[in-house]
Amino acid sequence: MTEYSILIKCESYERLVDILNNMEEIAKRRIERKDNRGHYMRTLHQRTKEYQEENPEKPYKECLAIIAEKMKQEKQEVMDISGGDCLDNNIV
């Protein structure tokens, strides 16, 4: 039987808990990469529509820019968590 392990090194227990809590979200986003552009555009426009319903005074184009920036920040957060300095993906 083959065994695999993952070593996660973190500067604090809180950081470790953050990573473990976000592992499911990271895995989900990696699976969604297969239809990267189509999925991104659908999500962008859906979230923009929802945001504009909450903020009807703002034009759609402005809402689109706000949501695009939020999605960019969310993606960066996921990348920081999944590929940051806390993960050591050496196979043992």
Reported for 27-32, long-range contacts at CB under 8 A and 24+ positions apart, including other chains, are 29/78
User: Which amino acid is it at 62?
Assistant: E
> Looking at residues 29-39, what average pLDDT do you find?
66
Question: Which of 23 and 45 is assigned the larger pLDDT?
Answer: 45
Ramachandran quadrant class, 85 (left: phi over 0; alpha: psi -120 to 50; beta: rest): alpha
> Looking at residues 2-25, what average pLDDT do you find?
82
Question: Which of 32 and 58 is assigned the larger pLDDT?
Answer: 58
Q: Is 67 exposed, middle or buried (0-12, 13-18, 19+ CB in 10 A)?
A: buried
Which pLDDT does position 65 carry in this prediction? Answer: 95
Which pLDDT does position 30 carry in this prediction? Answer: 66
Indicate the range of 29-43, 54-68, 70-84 predicted with least confidence. Answer: 29-43
